[in-house]
Structure 1
Amino acid sequence: MAPTLVYPVTAMEKFDVTPSPAPAAGQPRALPLTFYDLVFWAIPPVQRLFFYDRADLLDVSDFTLGELPRFRDSLAAALHHFYPLAGKLTCELVHEEGAAPPEVVFSDGDSVPLTVAVSGDDFRDLAGDHARDTARLRALLPALPQHGGSSRSHSQQGVLAVQITVFPRAGVCIGTTVHHAVADGSSYAHFLRTWATAHRLGPERSGAVAVDVPPPLFDRGVVRDDARLREAFLRDHLALGTAGRGGGERLCDWDLSRRPGVVFATFRFTEKRLRALGRRAEAETSARCSPYALACGAAWAGIVRASPPVPANYFGNCLGLCRVAHHAKRGELTAVAASAAIWRAIEGLAEAGSVFRGARGWVRWVREYASARAVTVAGSPKLGLYAAADFGGAWGRPAKVEIASVERTGALALAESGRDGDGGIEVGLALPRAEMETFRAFYLDLLASLDLD
């Protein structure tokens, strides 16, 4: 098979967007990472792509002269409330002066890099559901800035980066990269809603953003840590040698970008299909699964069949880690059995004390998941990212949202269905092309077997 042609993406302008107005003097400038944050401190950042149809934009100058100022100003207005996203994150635990817990620090003048680029690639093809070469999507994503430490300071990393890529006479893609240790999916969606609201209101009404979207709360005191998990996680990170000290090797087992021919595709489970799958699951297992469990279970079963055998099949979801193991031969795991196993694990979380059962092992679990190439989950249909990214006016909601970073984390990218109002769930995933074809065949066979009446 001939290699996929990757069209060049050319950066046209670069800006440093600072919070405007600057955060109030009384706002905390340093936020220590909680034990929840530390679980995700060493994993790759989360990268999302938002595709907007805009055939009326003739070229990149049409965007930079007409649309860019409002995007830049609204981003600055959103950063006024979410100023830690313009700050810097500690990248190491051990330093010449000893150990120090990681934190996010904001200093006056800190900013978020914003890149404006132009691409000659096929916009509609990139925004489709079919298998696309991940190298084409990678070109639309910004990198987090690195800040080297001096002899008296730790090395640091930026927290958020944004790239807007214009496809003349076709559309625009907004790519964001955010460090997972600073913001989970809910916090990211909160920021995105704030940015989009500021854009819709315009600069003359930017002060009213907090009326429509409540500001974030940075008080770390609301996170109770009676079990002293933060200390335990810091010890684990030190023992595992993360953050540039040779401990990332096992995490790299998730990284498909090192393998040739990796593609990204989206599979849609409409509400009608999920109901049919739910009826089958209840009939065969007595489990009344949620749509989330059904979509994840079907994808889990498909990946197990498509992928080469691995030492173990673990499935992790929730920000406090929850894992599911189902012992079956690679060709025998069904969508129904996988969905029921996931749903029973979710139901079990309602038991008192179950959420933190085994929590001391979360940091180590992440390494084990990676080395076993476990199936994990990124995003959630409950985040409502299609609605959160509604910039109003000629932009509206994006035509497609992708979590492109699942190429590096091996996760299922879940989102609410953004098309046709079918109330379903989108599942995006990255696999080598041959494995993707096997997964697609499983998906089509599953749909054909469902009673949709």
Structure 2
Amino acid sequence: MAHLQEVMFKVLEQSQISPPPGSVPTTTLPLTFFDMPWLRCFPMQRLFFYEFPHSTLHFSQTTLPILKTSLSLTLQHFFPFAAKLLCPPSPHKPYILYTNGDSIEFTVVESTCDMHQVAGNHARDVRELHPFVPRLPPSCVSSDGTRVLPLLAVQVTVFPFSGVCIGVEFSHVAADGRAFNHFMKSWASICRSKGNSLIYVEKWLPSFGRDQIEDPQGLESILLKDWWDWSSTREEDKGPINEGLTDKVRATFVLGKAQIERLKYWVSSHCLNNNEVRLSTFAVTCALIWVCVVKSQESEVGNLHNDDELCYFNFVADCRNRSEFSIPETYFGNCLALCFVTLKMSDIMGEDGIVAATKAIGNKVRELESGALRGADKWLSDWNEICESDHVVTVAGSPRLRVYETDFGWGKPIKSEVANIDVARGFYLSDSRHEEGGIEFGVAISKAQMNVFNAFFEEALRLL
């Protein structure tokens, strides 16, 4: 691919999209303790690439009007994305406010680069995806000191006679991955029907009832204090941090269903007692990736690691439909428990590193069954401490979100990417485009580390 500065990007349109006039009343949504940990999170960035073998003119005349109309209709039901996050000074709580006329920024761009190169699985400069990611407009501060932040921006990039990319940047405070994908599939469904059918949306209307979330542990006050302490000393918003990305590459890997089953069998055969490990697809897949990432990192320092140094793996667990809550599947907002897994470096680097990692992740998942909010009062303090470590790996996304079912009428995506892993020290998981039960994951690390990651990953698959 040509260097980014040599690639042509032409802005065709910049506009604002809002729900149909008068369709949504002024609405205030308070944040819950599930939302508050994400006040400090970088925006989430998701890209969907589609085949579209038509000219830009054809797209502008036939498809763009439907995209915009269907987005407006979708925002009528998912209005928090068009709203603003208001963060007043302490001791007042942040909240989401929608008022009539609120809108999102919608940009249309034409690109001359090769979409299939950009959306490939091969290792390439992480910055190659950045031109396709929209940027949330900057926050502003009102006269009373309240910081006002937009929550969603959309960019549509047309690759003439090749394809279309729909890029979205959104604030995690407004929605978690499941809520966001609910929004995207609803938009896609309305677009696919050319705005003539709301059957999918009406069947799966989002639920906004914050009173469904109980807080017997008083987590809100604990997390609010942490937010106020942090926000009182933070600097102005500077957007995503792109410095330090010049040596980073990203690549996508695919695990077939048969490979995953062999991986489960291999882990099981190395356990003295099969009851001591939970052999879920999530646990074994994340364990394999975690071990390969750590080994690739350690290769850069000549394997001079401290055996007692701690390695951390962080993931989230959806709390919808759990017996301890009464939160419906269609709840729109955040409904995630933060989970932290810890292993010594010697366990990760050992011959049975994948087995040890699978056990640790599986045990954490098992703990959730006896209480998803156990230790929730320390979510942010634990996260602050863990972030100081050089050995933190975080997973974004989930195969359960089924991103490859997001069809706007052009067929399923040829590729979906989570762009923000560039700065998040982690990887993303999704369903496989090609096989039911398969897994696709993306990693963003240095060039040298990627070569080692590849070697360890292929070596692990040969053992199966």
The reply to whether TM is greater than 0.5 is yes
By how many angstroms is 1:196 displaced?
0.9
* 8 Å Cα contact 2:48-2:417 kept in structure 1: yes
Match of 1:175 in 2: 167
Q: Which amino acid aligns with 1:66?
A: T
Match of 2:296 in 1: 306
* 8 Å Cα contact 2:127-2:245 kept in structure 1: no
By how many angstroms is 1:367 displaced?
2.4
Distance 2:138 2:224 in 1: 22
By how many angstroms is 1:344 displaced?
1.7
Match of 2:79 in 1: 83
Q: Which runs of 5+ in 2 are unaligned?
A: 299-304, 317-335
Match of 1:165 in 2: 157
When residues 237 and 22 of structure 1 are mapped into structure 2, their CA distance, relative to the original with a 3 A threshold, is: same
Distance 1:282 1:257 in 2: 43
Distance 1:366 1:178 in 2: 22
> Which residue of 206, 216, 219 corresponds with 1:226?
216
> Which residue of 400, 408, 413 corresponds with 2:428?
413
Distance 1:159 1:104 in 2: 9
Matched, 1:438 2:458: no
By how many angstroms is 1:418 displaced?
1.1
Q: For residue 23 of structure 1, give the secondary structure of its aligned residue in structure 2.
A: coil
Q: How does 1:47-446 map to 2 (within 5 A)?
A: 47-54=45-52, 56-58=53-55, 60-90=56-86, 92=87, 94=89, 98-206=90-198, 208-211=199-202, 213-239=203-229, 241-242=230-231, 245-246=234-235, 257-285=243-271, 286=274, 287-308=277-298, 312-318=310-316, 319-329=336-346, 331-332=349-350, 334-351=353-370, 353=371, 355-373=372-390, 374-387=392-405, 389-392=406-409, 395-419=410-434, 421-446=435-460
Q: Which amino acid aligns with 2:354?
A: A
Q: For residue 307 of structure 1, give the secondary structure of its aligned residue in structure 2.
A: helix
Cα deviation digits, residues 118-146 of structure 1 (max 9, x gap): 11211111111111211110110001112
Distance 2:413 2:428 in 1: 16
Aligned length: 429
By how many angstroms is 1:3 displaced?
7.0
Q: Which amino acid aligns with 1:31?
A: L
TM-score, normalised to structure 2, is 0.87
Q: Which amino acid aligns with 1:385?
A: V
Cα deviation digits, residues 63-95 of structure 1 (max 9, x gap): 1112100000111111000011001112x453x
By how many angstroms is 1:336 displaced?
2.6
Distance 1:176 1:61 in 2: 23
Cα deviation digits, residues 369-410 of structure 1 (max 9, x gap): 3322511111110011111x1112xx0110111111111212
Distance 1:256 1:149 in 2: 25
Q: Which amino acid aligns with 1:360?
A: D
Q: How does 1:6-45 map to 2 (within 5 A)?
A: 7-20=7-20, 22-25=22-25, 29-45=27-43
Q: Which runs of 5+ in 1 are unaligned?
A: none
* 8 Å Cα contact 1:7-1:119 kept in structure 2: yes
Q: For residue 326 of structure 1, give the secondary structure of its aligned residue in structure 2.
A: strand
Q: For residue 417 of structure 2, give the secondary structure of its aligned residue in structure 1.
A: strand
By how many angstroms is 1:244 displaced?
6.7
Q: For residue 210 of structure 1, give the secondary structure of its aligned residue in structure 2.
A: helix
Distance 1:117 1:243 in 2: 38
Q: Which amino acid aligns with 1:113?
A: E
Q: For residue 349 of structure 2, give the secondary structure of its aligned residue in structure 1.
A: coil
Q: For residue 313 of structure 1, give the secondary structure of its aligned residue in structure 2.
A: strand
Query: Identity over aligned residues, as a percent?
Result: 33
Distance 1:365 1:407 in 2: 23
* 8 Å Cα contact 2:10-2:111 kept in structure 1: yes
Q: Which amino acid aligns with 1:64?
A: S
Distance 1:201 1:101 in 2: 40
CA RMSD of aligned residues (A): 2.4
Distance 1:242 1:430 in 2: 29
By how many angstroms is 1:412 displaced?
1.7
When residues 347 and 178 of structure 1 are mapped into structure 2, their CA distance, relative to the original with a 3 A threshold, is: same
Q: Which amino acid aligns with 1:386?
A: Y
